[in-house]
Amino acid sequence: MCYSEFNDIIRDIDDMDADVITFEASRSDLKILDALQEAKFRTEVGPGVYDIHSPRVPSVQEIKDALGKMLKKVELKKLWVNPDCGLKTRGDTETKASLINLVTAAKDIRSTL
């Protein structure tokens, strides 16, 4: 789900019969996480760890920093790791490099938990 007033409908989203919901989060400075906490959101979530609209490859450390912030507000077992809003605006080379960094960051974080 991208660029919406999630706070207005967060409980309705949680009431849907979904296993996981992905949210745009990086461009909004992870503010969706506060709404999820306040609403006691039950559904597993994948807040985006980097903005796919910027033509660049996020570093492993940048992604690890985002995951660290997310883990302060979302239970480990409920957190999925993914970029914001798909990758259709990015080229193959950039996408592959970004996803390699995303997987590396996730593995690094998991190895410390």
Catalytic residue annotation: 53
Could you give the CA distance from residue 109 to residue 71 in angstroms, rounded to a whole number? Answer: 10
User: Are the C-beta atoms of residues 73 and 37 closer than 8 Å to each other?
Assistant: yes
Could you give the CA distance from residue 23 to residue 86 in angstroms, rounded to a whole number? Answer: 10
